Amino acid sequence: MAVKIRLKRFGKIRAPYYRVVVADSRTKRDGRVIEEIGKYHPTEEPSIIEINSERAQYWLGVGAQPTEQVAALLKLTGDWGIFKGDKDAKSTVKVAEPKAAFVADEAKKPVLKPKVEKAAEPAPAEAEAETEAAEATAEEQA
């Protein structure tokens, strides 16, 4: 059985994303697979490339052949160099910068009250219990 490491397409028209899979070479492109070892989102900026290095090394070691596209991805992640014996192989995948934390504009009036202020106000049942307790202590003092 010839095993290939290839891409399995998902997504909509003109919005593809792929999973890197290990499959029998005779199966359909999006058919049954042996194992999913990663994902690739080419439309993101920068492209998202996540491949499980341990599983990729295993499948390359037992003779699975990557397609041209997957071979290019493996070279970017450094897995191909490690498989070929290059000890200095590094990942050259660009990583997106984390998004800045959202800070509400203090100059504008907030639409909703924060939960802290709501918690500070006692509930109506609790307010009645507190007033009864205060009246009882006042009577005892008098």
Tell me the domain boundaries of the chain: 3-84
Class of residue 50 by CB neighbours under 10 A (exposed 0-12, middle 13-18, buried 19+): middle
| Nearest CA among 43, 18, 38 for reference residue 96 | 43
Residues 60-94 pLDDT 10s: 999 999 999 999 999 888 888 888 887 777 777 77
Class of residue 53 by CB neighbours under 10 A (exposed 0-12, middle 13-18, buried 19+): middle
Report the C-alpha gap between 51 and 38 in whole angstroms.
4
Report the C-alpha gap between 70 and 91 in whole angstroms.
15
Residues 34-63 pLDDT 10s: 999 999 999 888 888 899 989 999 999 999
Provide the CA 108 distance to its chain's centre, in angstroms: 33
| pLDDT score at 85 | 83
Q: Using DSSP, state whether 85 is helix, strand or coil.
A: coil
| pLDDT score at 123 | 57
Residues 89-112 pLDDT 10s: 777 777 777 888 887 777 777 676
| pLDDT score at 12 | 93
Q: Report whether pLDDT(121) > 70.
A: no
What class is the 3-84 domain? alpha beta
pTM: 0.64
